[in-house]
Amino acid sequence: MCSDFLDKVYKDEYKDPKDLYREWADTYDNELAQNEYITPIRTAKALATFASNRSTPILDFGCGTGLSAEALISCGFSSIDGIDISREMVEIARGKSIYKNLECFNPDKGIPVKQNEYSIITAIGVISVGAAPITIFDQVFDLLPQNGLFAFSFNEHSLMVPEYSLKVEQTVKEKKAEQLFCELGPHILKRDLKSMVYVIKKL
């Protein structure tokens, strides 16, 4: 039923996000389209402002069903790989044939990506209450080479937990990254939810 999962996702009903996204995968795109999920296009547009070469390979971390890649492609990006912990979400993405490579991984075994393999990484709607914990931030950021770009979002629910925005502030304060973009704007229009979109560059 429409909006079922948007009602559940932030309520911590699921201990393991894999269980939530296994059940949600089939209806995810429809529910998000009906509720007007804006964060992917806002993040892709922000990234496009700073990425000089749109054919640079991108890692779409937490790619889900591929809504994030669809937004990136609409902004001209052409080489996108995706990884996610949910087999069911990845299978929907695979059916769209928009990713060069797609992989489902076990987060307990680490992220299956080599350091410096990608100079652009996105995590759109991924590091969040109800999805990947903020502890994953450093693991993803550390994969980038110097001058690599990290474009990501935190939704309103996550912004209420100080650890999320503090992590970005601390990364910038310690001169590990330069903040290129930070904008609060619409996340899911019909729910009147907002998100913060960031683009940071590794120093």
- Give residues in contact with ligand SAM (CB under 6 A): 17, 21, 40, 62-64, 67-68, 84-86, 89, 107, 124-126, 131-132, 136
CB of 173 to ligand SAM, least distance (A): 25
Q: Quick one: 33 or 203, whose CB is closer to ligand SAM?
A: 33
Nearer to ligand SAM (CB atom), residue 4 or residue 178 = 4
Residue 21 or 141: the one with the smaller Cβ distance to ligand SAM is: 21
**Residues 25 and 65 sit within 8 Å (Cβ to Cβ):** yes
CB of 144 to ligand SAM, least distance (A): 16
Q: How far is the CB of 66 from ligand SAM (least distance, A)?
A: 7
- Residue of minimal Cβ distance to ligand SAM: 64
Q: CA 57 to CA 78: how far, in whole Å?
A: 8
Minimum distance, C-beta of residue 170 to ligand SAM, in the bound complex (Å)? 20
Nearer to ligand SAM, 127 or 200 (CB): 127
Phi and psi angles of residue 187, each rounded to the nearest 5 degrees, phi first: -110, -65
Q: Which two tokens stand for residue 202?
A: 């590794």
Beta strands in the chain, from DSSP E residues, in sequence order: 58-61, 80-84, 102-104, 120-123, 149-155, 177-188, 193-202
Task: Rank residues 108 and 175 by Cβ distance to ligand SAM and give the closer one.
Answer: 108
Name the minimum Å distance from CB 203 to ligand SAM: 25
Coil, helix or strand for 153? strand
Q: 129: which residues sit within 8 A by CB, 6+ positions away? A: 10, 12, 155, 157, 158, 161
